[in-house]
């Protein structure tokens, strides 16, 4: 590691990857949305563009190392390796999000009635689905609920506690609306996960994502709102909870279907308690390009790949925020 070589195995490694190769893959993947397979094939062709099939294929080992590389780099960049939790006691331990610096954060950048500023936007997307396939049960997210996705075990327990709802039941009330009528059909056939629901702040920073499942078409949106609130500490009882006072506007293409029982779902679930107000928006243009290869991944690797792209989106928004703010001030 001191020589800037990352071993391919923790015990008896026979291969290693330079830090520059791992960093190059990270940036190319985030910017150009290429997969680890394409990147490894490009490296093999750089080695020998005629007899490429004779060059050793590092794909299986590289995919695992690149996954772990991204995780440890995010822990370092987001301050977890430096004890940053001491500076933000209101946030949950192990906080691994790139937060919006312009949003109200009580005790950090806002005094007085911080809750009068708009907070969250949300929408669903079916391009980041996951195919039904034989999966590795030990393939779990390295973030364990400390980033944009809620912790898998608790999230699945919440969904199963509600009981399944068939696609036909979901479409029965408002089948004249296309997004409802086609729920669970066509593109979502043979999918273990039919997409994801993003929750964002009104500056379009991603705050939370929950996995969509056909049997739970509306509850995934509730869970995404809840995770966003809880990760930012709005339900930790350490500050006055003003979630009910936040200005908001609900907007969704199937709002009549979603809104009719929204209050009941939040009131009856301990998982969703204290999470009441939200708005809706999306940022899917970038993430749609990722769905082509994440839908073939196992659950944990898929989540962590999407998390990496959320990190990058939020970071680029942070870097460009000063320039954007100046345009509005002119």
Q: State the pLDDT at residue 226.
A: 81
What value does the mean pLDDT take over residues 9-33? 92
Contacts of 261 (CB under 8 A, 6+ apart): 218
325 sits in which H/E element: helix 299-329
**Spatial separation of the C-alpha atoms in residues 314 and 242, rounded to whole Å:** 25
Assess whether pLDDT exceeds 80 at residue 291: yes
Other CB atoms within 10 A of residue 123 CB: 19
**Spatial separation of the C-alpha atoms in residues 271 and 227, rounded to whole Å:** 10
Please write the tens of the pLDDT for every residue from 211-253: 887 645 567 777 887 888 788 776 545 555 555 555 444 445 5
Cα torsion 98, 99, 102, 107: sign: negative
Given a contact cutoff of 8 angstroms between Cβ atoms, the answer to whether 296 and 37 are in contact is: no
What are the two backbone dihedrals, phi and then psi, of residue 207, each rounded to the nearest 5 degrees? -115, -30
Residue count (the chain): 330
**Spatial separation of the C-alpha atoms in residues 43 and 15, rounded to whole Å:** 15
Please write the tens of the pLDDT for every residue from 149-202: 999 888 888 877 776 555 555 555 555 555 555 555 555 667 888 888 888 887
Given a contact cutoff of 8 angstroms between Cβ atoms, the answer to whether 117 and 277 are in contact is: no
Please write the tens of the pLDDT for every residue from 143-152: 999 999 999 8
Given a contact cutoff of 8 angstroms between Cβ atoms, the answer to whether 200 and 122 are in contact is: yes
Any idea what DSSP says for residue 106? B
What value does the mean pLDDT take over residues 1-6? 91
Q: State the pLDDT at residue 252.
A: 52
Q: Please, which pLDDT band fits residue 269 given cuts at 50, 70 and 90?
A: very low
Q: Which two tokens stand for residue 31?
A: 């910017």
Model pTM? 0.82
Q: Please, which pLDDT band fits residue 102 given cuts at 50, 70 and 90?
A: confident
Q: Which two tokens stand for residue 238?
A: 């350490």
Any idea what DSSP says for residue 110? B
192 sits in which H/E element: strand 191-193
What residue spans define the domains of the chain? 5-77, 94-329
Q: State the pLDDT at residue 271.
A: 44
Q: Which two tokens stand for residue 46?
A: 């750089």
């Amino acid at each position: 590691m001191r020589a800037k070589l990352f071993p391919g195995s923790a015990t008896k490694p026979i291969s290693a990857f330079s830090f520059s190769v791992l960093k190059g893959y990270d940036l190319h993947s985030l910017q150009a949305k290429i997969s680890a397979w394409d990147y490894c094939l490009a490296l093999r062709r750089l080695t020998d563009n005629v007899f490429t099939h004779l060059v050793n294929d590092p794909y299986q080992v590289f995919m695992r190392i690149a996954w772990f590389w991204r995780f440890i780099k995010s822990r370092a960049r987001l301050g977890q390796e430096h004890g940053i939790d001491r500076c933000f006691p209101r946030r949950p331990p192990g906080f691994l999000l790139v937060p919006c610096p312009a949003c109200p954060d009580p005790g950090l950048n806002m005094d007085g009635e911080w809750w009068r500023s708009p907070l969250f936007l949300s929408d669903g997307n079916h391009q980041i689905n996951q195919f039904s396939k034989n999966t590795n049960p030990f393939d779990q997210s390295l973030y364990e609920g400390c980033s944009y996705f809620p912790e898998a075990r608790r999230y699945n327990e919440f969904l199963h506690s509600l009981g399944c709802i068939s696609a036909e039941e979901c479409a029965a009330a408002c089948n004249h609306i296309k997004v409802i009528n086609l729920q669970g059909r066509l593109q979502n056939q043979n999918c273990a996960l039919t997409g994801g629901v993003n929750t964002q702040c009104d500056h379009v920073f991603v705050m939370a994502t929950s996995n969509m499942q056909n049997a739970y078409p509306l509850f995934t949106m509730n869970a995404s709102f809840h995770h966003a609130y809880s990760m930012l500490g709005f339900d930790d009882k350490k500050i006055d909870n003003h979630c009910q006072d936040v200005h908001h506007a609900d907007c969704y293409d199937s709002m009549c279907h979603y809104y009719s029982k929204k209050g009941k779902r939040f009131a009856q679930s301990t998982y969703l308690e204290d999470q009441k107000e939200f708005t809706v928006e999306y940022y899917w243009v970038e993430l749609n390009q990722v769905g082509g290869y994440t839908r073939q991944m196992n659950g944990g690797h898929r989540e962590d790949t999407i998390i990496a792209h959320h990190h990058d989106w939020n970071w680029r928004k942070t870097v460009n925020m000063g320039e954007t703010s100046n345009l509005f001030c002119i």
